[in-house]
């Protein structure tokens, strides 16, 4: 190939500014070669370098005695869970690829996050996802939604990992730019942690996995620009094509190889492919690396060095092998019938050198690519629309006198409705470790012996015979993008708080957070304000709950010609349940149990009484405005600790947090969300009376307001006084709402009673999304 001349137009096409190109000239002391220009383009993209977000990310709390591998150190964070065991977990986005090719975009997003986990030496044992789409009335949105869910199901089911939890939200702001955030969690022993560093001068560098093709070309750069109709057409080749069966073989082979002790470093070829894996491993170790592209397996003939280095073909790994142990690598990968090739060597030069066709095509200092990308402090300005949000009042909103039609409307709203249409396509029972499956506040898995990677000398059969104490890990993912749009700081605080509250409702103590920052173009000061304030809210909440951020992902430029997405700082929180008896679910259990509300029924210091940004305003009044309810972190922490204490003492039979839709929706979900089997809902009625709530409380605020820090629990009749006494001593507001039982849901307030047929409520809630997708 005759390489094109480096012109200002070509530099601009690579999304490099004039100043950045000047910096490249300074680093190299010469004009870059074409392949080098492409390498700088992807490595200095926002997707790889975080050049617009790095100063903000430094404000996150990242330290804890339990952290074994912290944020930014490696491909995923690792936290100690006791008894020599640890969990590795991370969340990442695949937004732009999923907008262009929903099936493959979502599928390869799952594949990429799985590789991040087993690259650390951990066996992947659970996955979840957070999805955002436009409104389902749109045919195009339904196409994207169906394709994304199918892609996730295909990859996860074929690989054999349970999709154990998640969330799906629908809002017009995501219509041109859906969000697909994928999370994976793995398990390993402390001594099995491996690093992605090219250590040991003279050690050989191996390429393992399928041959390199032209799919996924410069995908990292594609993800670091606004999504337009033109870019979608032009960049269709930037979407990778996945093979989950190949990934399963690569995972098992890598875990077996790691047990031999022959590996000095390992890195997956994710974003930026061979480029990222080579320069990052060298930079981490302070070494250099040289590779020969003629030795890289290639799927198509006549690939250029530019294409080979920037391809993001899936399921590929870079492995640095201890010199003299090459035959062990070859034996294991031949056993698993995997392609492999020895393509290079670790050097002491500090440089990434690439040869192709007998000539040097890349010669760049590795650290300059991996660690020294330009960093920007962007201008921040409060968006003009926020003044209108703050000025909104309920003066023009009449308080309903008959809420009978409102509750079914909220329950059937796709953002609140059951997501069974999604998760029934996933295998959430594979590996036989799922304890609480999708449909409750948080998922819970059991870590058992066969969850672990093999030790030296062990076979896969031997692993399951190991003697380890069972561990129960809970996980959830949360974010209310509307809250974050209306108040980025409070919305981000609420995202962390709701996730931690979901864990508390499940009986778990939070251990750590991984976040996915989904925002628009950072060059827009108003959009950067959203990002900056959201990060501040996440950081404050994480500090309050002592849940360090272990890593995550920044996904910017999420906007289409129709406008930017709502700011969506998605958080996945992982926690530990001390005893199996403490695992708690959200649905009511037995007739005669007493239902209580922990937390204030309505926050009367909030002039909108919890209705700002609520599902009620959006669904019933068509309004997306008003300051969202404030989230007191001290009160939240007190509530969570108190709830966990009740659960540990055996006093709680069910627990469900109040979030979208408010108290009425939370109680209704507790009545209808138990699933006894395929097509067999476990419906149980309830009688609720909130007439005793004092103050000038609106009926809509009482039933559908979203005042924060509230949980609906059920307890045995004989334990009510004990719970109320403990709540009073801890300063936690507690109110008896009613009792479990009967065949209907009855609610009384302001001396009026309403009731709903449970089968009708369940039908709308359970089948809403399926009907929209027909």
- Rg value, the chain, Cα: 26
Question: How many Cα neighbours within 13 Å face the side chain of 621?
Answer: 19
Instruction: Based on the residue annotation, tell me whether 94 is a catalytic residue of this protein.
Output: yes
Enter the DSSP assignment of 644.
H
DSSP 626: S
**Token representation of residue 680:** 């067999």
Residue 634 CB-density burial (10 A; 0-12 exposed, 13-18 middle, 19+ buried): exposed
The alpha carbon of residue 509 and the mean position of all alpha carbons in its chain are separated, in whole angstroms, by 19
Q: Which residues of 316-336 are buried (b: 16+ CB within 10 A; e: fewer)?
A: bbbbbbbeebeebbeebbeeb
Mapping DSSP to helix (H, G, I), strand (E, B) and coil, where does residue 635 land?
Answer: helix
679: left (phi over 0), alpha (psi -120 to 50) or beta: left
Tokens for 303, please give them. 């690939």
The three-state secondary structure class of 77 is: strand
Mark whether 656 is an active-site residue. Answer: no
The one catalytic residue among 47, 96, 356, 428:
47
Pick from 445, 444, 451: which is nearest to 468 by CA? 451
- Residue 209 backbone dihedrals phi, psi, to 5 degrees: 120, -175
Which tokens sit at 103? Answer: 């099936």
Residues 6+ apart with CB under 8 A from 189: 84, 85, 86, 452, 453, 455
CA distance 176 to 172: 9
Per-position DSSP letters for 429-469, written without gaps between them: SGGG-EEE-BTBSSEEEEE-GGGSPPPTT--HHHHTT----
Exactly one of 94, 582, 656, 762 is catalytic; which is it? 94
Q: How far apart are CA 45 and CA 546, in angstroms?
A: 32
- Residue 259 and residue 154: Cα distance in Å, rounded? 29
Q: Which residues contact 729 (CB under 8 A, 6 or more apart)?
A: none
Task: For residue 699, give every residue at least 6 positions away whose Cβ sits within 8 Å of its Cβ, in sequence order, or none.
Answer: 399, 400, 401, 403, 749, 750
Q: How far apart are CA 215 and CA 312, in angstroms?
A: 6
Q: What are phi and psi of 616, to 5 degrees?
A: -60, -50
Q: Which residue has the tokens 């009688």?
A: 687
Q: Do the Cβ atoms of 356 and 39 come closer than 8 Å?
A: no
Residue 68 CB neighbours (<10 A): 18
Residues annotated as catalytic are 47, 94
């Amino acid at each position: 190939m005759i390489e094109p001349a480096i012109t200002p137009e070509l530099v601009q096409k690579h999304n490099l500014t004039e100043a950045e190109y000047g910096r490249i000239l300074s680093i190299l002391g010469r004009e870059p070669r074409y392949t080098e220009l492409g390498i700088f383009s992807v490595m200095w993209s926002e997707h790889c370098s975080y050049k617009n977000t790095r100063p903000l990310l430094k404000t996150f709390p990242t330290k804890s005695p339990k952290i074994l591998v912290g944020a930014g150190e490696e491909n995923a964070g690792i936290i100690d869970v006791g008894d020599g065991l640890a969990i590795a977990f991370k969340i990442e986005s695949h937004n732009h690829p999923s907008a262009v090719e929903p099936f493959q975009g979502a599928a390869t997003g799952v594949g990429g996050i799985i590789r991040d986990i087993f690259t650390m030496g951990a066996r992947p044992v659970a996955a979840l996802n957070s999805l955002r789409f436009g409104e389902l009335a749109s045919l195009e949105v339904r196409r994207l939604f169906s394709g994304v869910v199918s892609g996730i199901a295909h990859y996860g089911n074929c690989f054999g990992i349970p999709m154990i939890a998640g969330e799906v939200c629908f809002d017009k702001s995501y219509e041109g730019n859906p969000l697909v955030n994928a999370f994976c969690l793995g398990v390993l022993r402390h001594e099995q942690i491996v690093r992605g560093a090219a250590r040991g001068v003279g050690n050989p560098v191996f390429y393992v996995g399928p041959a390199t093709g032209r799919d996924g070309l410069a995908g990292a750069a594609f993800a670091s620009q606004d999504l337009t109709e033109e870019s979608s057409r032009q960049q269709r080749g930037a979407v990778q094509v996945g093979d989950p069966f190949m990934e399963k073989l690569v995972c098992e082979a890598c875990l077996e190889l790691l047990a031999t002790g022959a590996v000095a470093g390992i890195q997956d070829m994710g974003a930026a492919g061979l480029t990222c894996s080579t320069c990052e491993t060298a930079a981490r170790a302070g070494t250099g690396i040289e590779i020969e592209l003629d030795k890289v397996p290639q799927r198509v003939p006549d690939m250029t060095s530019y294409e080979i280095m920037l391809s993001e073909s899936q399921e590929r790994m870079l492995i640095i092998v201890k010199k003299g142990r090459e035959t062990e690598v070859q034996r294991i990968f031949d056993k698993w019938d995997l392609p492999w090739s020895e393509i290079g060597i670790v050097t002491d030069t500090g440089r990434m050198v690439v040869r192709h066709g007998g000539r040097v095509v890349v010669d760049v200092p590795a650290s300059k690519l991996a660690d020294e990308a330009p960093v920007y402090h962007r201008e921040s300005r409060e968006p003009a629309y926020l003044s209108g949000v703050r000025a909104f009042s309920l003066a023009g909103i009449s308080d309903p006198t008959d809420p009978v039609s409102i509750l079914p409307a909220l329950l059937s709203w796709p953002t609140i409705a059951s997501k069974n249409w999604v998760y029934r396509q996933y295998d959430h029972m594979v590996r036989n470790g799922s304890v609480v499956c999708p449909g409750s506040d948080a998922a819970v898995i059991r870590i058992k012996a066969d969850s672990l990677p093999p030790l030296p000398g062990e076979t896969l059969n031997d692993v399951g015979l190991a003697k380890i104490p069972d561990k129960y890990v809970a996980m959830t993912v949360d974010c209310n993008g509307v809250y974050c749009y209306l108040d980025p700081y409070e919305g981000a605080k609420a995202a962390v708080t709701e996730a931690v509250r979901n864990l508390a409702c499940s009986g778990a103590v939070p251990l750590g957070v991984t976040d996915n920052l989904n925002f628009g173009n950072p060059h827009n000061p108003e959009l950067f304000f959203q990002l900056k304030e959201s990060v501040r809210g996440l950081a404050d909440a994480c500090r309050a709950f002592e849940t360090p951020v272990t890593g995550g992902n920044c996904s910017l430029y999420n906007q289409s010609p129709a406008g930017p997405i709502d700011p969506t700082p998605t958080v996945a929180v992982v926690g530990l349940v001390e005893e199996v008896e403490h695992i708690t679910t959200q649905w009511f259990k037995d007739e005669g149990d007493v239902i209580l509300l922990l937390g204030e029924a309505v926050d009367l210091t909030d002039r909108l009484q919890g209705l700002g940004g609520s599902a009620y305003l959006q669904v019933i009044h068509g309004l997306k405005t008003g300051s969202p309810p404030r989230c007191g972190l001290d009160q939240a922490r007190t509530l969570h600790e108190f709830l966990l204490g009740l659960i540990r003492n055996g006093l709680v039979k069910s627990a469900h947090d109040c979030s979208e839709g408010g108290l009425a929706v939370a109680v209704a979900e507790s009545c209808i969300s138990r699933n006894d089997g395929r097509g067999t809902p476990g419906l149980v009625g309830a009688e609720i009376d909130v007439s005793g709530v004092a103050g000038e409380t609106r009926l809509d605020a009482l039933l559908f307001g979203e005042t924060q820090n509230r949980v609906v629990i059920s307890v045995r009749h004989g334990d009510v006084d004990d719970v109320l006494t403990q709540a009073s001593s801890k300063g936690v507001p507690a109110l008896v709402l009613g009792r479990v039982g009967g065949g209907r849901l009855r609610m009384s307030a302001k001396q009026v009673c309403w009731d709903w047929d449970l089968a009708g409520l369940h039908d709308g809630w359970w089948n809403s999304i399926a009907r929209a997708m027909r």
